[in-house]
Structure 1
Amino acid sequence: METHGRTYADQAGIKLRDTPSPLYRLLVLSLLLSARIRADTAVAAARALSDAGMTDAKRMADATWQQRVDALGVGHYRRYDERTATQLGDGAELLLREYKGDIRRMREQGRIKEGLREVPGIGPTGVDIFLREAQEVWPETGPYIDGKARQGAERLGLPTSSSRLAGLVAERDRARFAAALVRAALDKKVVEDVRAAV
């Protein structure tokens, strides 16, 4: 956790709080990270969308398709940029229509996973990413140690049971711990760094 325990939200410049804009930005990041593209590229694209002012559902919906494509391009998210720009616009419209642009309404209704799955471009992987990071501000969603994090745990020689992994760290550190495990699953250099430090 010391060297690789940075959440993807933090890396994308999202100061995660239980307020609409950071949670929306986390949703966008989750959509970008769930595509078959490098995590650093997805993080850069999420930053570029935020830098272009698309920090909530209304602003995303108000942006033109071309503005979304251009922002994704700034983040070098080019392989899926046109489809993703459409999904971002459609998802923002859905959030405005069904939840008044506020993801917290899904939580209030007790249907976080179902609500997230309604958003275009958010599949099971996107839901996992969102909940893995959101447990920092929504502790009741945790401990959330998904399959990718368990894969990283296995590479590090740690237990692969979600409950046993969650028990290794304090509740406040679970999102960072899960992010570090995911980084170990995605990059064997992370595993080598950890083993060299032990």
Structure 2
Amino acid sequence: MAKAISASELGIELKPGDDGSLFKWFVASFLMGKRIQAPIAAQAYKVIVEEEGRDTARKLQHCTSRELVSMLGRAHYVRYDESTAQRLLDLSAKLNAEYAGKITHIRSASENRQAFEKRLGAFDGVGPKTIEIFMRDAAKVLLW
């Protein structure tokens, strides 16, 4: 089995209360949570967040589906590009609408880790694998 890619390997330094790093790691975890090779998912993260600067839920939501499909294509993330693009847009819209675009607000609204994971799972396209990847690194800074 392929080695898991960590937040630090992507240049994401997770810190308590640092919403920027948590959002970036959530996007990376979302991309890696699909049935796609981790290096391709990591490259897709780099194209979307680093090259295109879509590093907040607000900036991501202001992409078109076509722009996101193009970004995913540049990273060779083509197997689920249409559905992934739409789910990323839906994810950012929900995060903006329900939590003011902040993972830390999901944390504040959750009484414990289990409740937090349940809220993450309410995002379309976020399943147990995405939650497992995200929490592997983020749990250390979410602090209950």
Please report the TM-score for the alignment, with normalisation by the length of structure 2. Answer: 0.87
The 1:101–1:114 alpha-carbon spacing in structure 2 relative to 1, beyond 3 Å, is same
Structure 1 segments (4+ residues) deviating >6 Å: none
Which of 5, 8, 14 is matched with 2:6 structurally?
Answer: 8
CA distance in 1 between counterparts of 2:140 and 2:68 reads 28
The 2-side partners of 1:15 and 1:23 are apart by 9
Task: Tell me the distance in 2 between the aligned counterparts of 1:7 and 1:72.
Answer: 18
What stretches of structure 1 of length at least 5 have no aligned partner? 141-198
2:83 matched to which residue of 1? 83
Q: Percent identity?
A: 32
One-letter amino acid of the counterpart of residue 30, structure 1: S
- Matches of 2:21 and 2:46, distance apart in 1: 12
Question: What is the match of residue 44 of structure 2?
Answer: 45
How many pairs were matched up? 136
Pairwise CA RMSD of aligned residues? 1.7
Give the drift of 1:85: 0.3
3-state SS of the aligned residue for 2:7?
A: helix
Partner SS state of residue 137, structure 1? helix
Rounded Cα–Cα distance in structure 2 between residues aligned with 1:54 and 1:139? 26
Q: How far 1:123 sits from its partner (Å)?
A: 0.4
- 1:150-192 deviations in whole A, cap 9, x for unaligned? xxxxxxxxxxxxxxxxxxxxxxxxxxxxxxxxxxxxxxxxxxx
Name 1:97's counterpart in structure 2: 97
In the alignment, what sits opposite 1:74? 74
Alpha-carbon distance in 2 for matches of 1:11, 1:78: 23
SS in 2 for 1:135: helix
What amino acid is the match of 1:31? F
Q: Which has the larger radius of gyration?
A: 1
Q: Is the 8 A contact 1:57 1:96 kept in 2?
A: yes
Larger RCO of the pair (alpha carbons < 8 Å, separation 6+): 2
Which runs of 5 or more residues in structure 2 are unaligned?
none
Letter in 2 for 1:93: A
Q: Which residue of 2 aligns with 1:128?
A: 132
Deviations 1:94-131 (A, max 9, x none): 00000000011111112311211111211011111111
